[in-house]
Structure 1
Amino acid sequence: MDGKLFTLEEASALLPKLQEDLRQLQQLIEQMELLNLELQKIKVSQERMKTNRTAGNAHQGQDPFFEVESKLEFMQIEAQLLLSNFTRNGVLLKMIKPGLIDFPSVLDGEDILICWKEGEERIGHYHGWHDGFMGRKPLPENNEGNSH
């Protein structure tokens, strides 16, 4: 397997920073969803105005969507930067809401993913690469077996 492998201790040490990035990403996505709704309302409103106005009264050259679309584009760039933080750290962000983060690791010679789900106080589960979240098992109490 290529890429970084984490011990439980390394994953636990990185988790607070990842949780902060996740919170920022979740807030940003909520703001983007609200802004997208606003954009849809503006488009509906513009369409109504367009059908109600005569050709001589039309405002030429103005883009009524530019400001909101620009904000959305900037927010998308911010979201991509936050998402890339997870990749740069070698972890897998499986779900944004609720947050689900996997840390590649090895347990007893087998490639696994140490798994954390938003709401859990600490990392305490793992699953195989192909088992997914439903295959989660509790980490052994003495998890010193994780190695690189």
Structure 2
Amino acid sequence: MTAAEFARAQEPAVTAKYFTLDEANRTLPFVSRIVHDIVDEYRHWRENIYRYELITAGRRADDAETEEQGRLRRAVDDSAHRINGFIEELSLVGCVFKGFEEGLVDFRSKLTDRDIFLCWKLGEPEIQHWHEVDAGVAGRRALVPELTG
């Protein structure tokens, strides 16, 4: 899977859904299972990419593909397909997948009159952070009373 395919898979749905904190937290049992699957499958994808690169290092482009290369290439493609499917499931829920290593997910929300993201990470029991739309994970802040209602 190329970086462009990953980026396309992470784009929000055409009609963005906005969540209250309670609504977003109610999705977490389902969302966490999907994110766990993504993170696990991503590890397999990276391992197979690494193994494929090891066995193809030093080979010429016109060399015929070995059986092992073909098996690994198919495994990489299969993992990428599964990852895309999981990310599509998240987009149908209305959230945006943001991070393969940590399992980051953003939920569109509002704080007073501006768009923000409620930010959740795999392993957290509930949403505890938010950030500005353009800030990303580095801008994560603890929830404020306006969001916790």
TM-score band w.r.t. shorter chain: 0.7 to 0.9
How far apart, in 1, do the equivalents of 2:44 and 2:135 lie?
33
Letter in 2 for 1:68: L
How far apart, in 2, do the equivalents of 1:69 and 1:33 lie?
12
1:144: Cα distance to partner?
A: 6.0
* Counterparts in 2 of 1:137 and 1:69: CA distance versus 1, 3 Å: closer
Structure 2 residue corresponding to 1:138, chosen from 132, 136, 142? 142
Matched ranges for 1:66-105 at <5 A: 66-105=70-109
* Counterparts in 2 of 1:142 and 1:69: CA distance versus 1, 3 Å: same
Q: TM-score, normalised by structure 2?
A: 0.73
How far apart, in 1, do the equivalents of 2:133 and 2:66 lie?
52
State the number of aligned residues.
133
Give me the CA root mean square deviation.
Answer: 2.7
Letter in 1 for 2:117: L
Q: List gaps (5 residues or longer) in structure 1.
A: 51-59
Letter in 2 for 1:7: T
1:35 paired residue number: 48
* Counterparts in 2 of 1:132 and 1:40: CA distance versus 1, 3 Å: closer
Q: Which runs of 4+ in 1 moved over 4 A?
A: 44-47, 60-64
Letter in 1 for 2:132: G
* Counterparts in 2 of 1:113 and 1:65: CA distance versus 1, 3 Å: same
In 1, are the aligned partners of 2:116 and 2:131 still within 8 Å (CA)?
A: yes
The answer to whether structure 1 residue 26 and structure 2 residue 30 are counterparts is no
Aligned-residue sequence identity (percent) comes to 24
* Counterparts in 2 of 1:69 and 1:141: CA distance versus 1, 3 Å: same
* Counterparts in 2 of 1:45 and 1:120: CA distance versus 1, 3 Å: same
Mean CA deviation greater in 95-104 or 34-43:
34-43
Mean CA deviation greater in 123-132 or 9-18:
123-132
The answer to whether structure 1 residue 111 and structure 2 residue 115 are counterparts is yes
How far apart, in 2, do the equivalents of 1:77 and 1:98 lie?
20
1:109: Cα distance to partner?
A: 2.6
1:112: Cα distance to partner?
A: 1.4
In 1, are the aligned partners of 2:118 and 2:127 still within 8 Å (CA)?
A: yes
Letter in 2 for 1:91: C
2:11 paired residue number: none
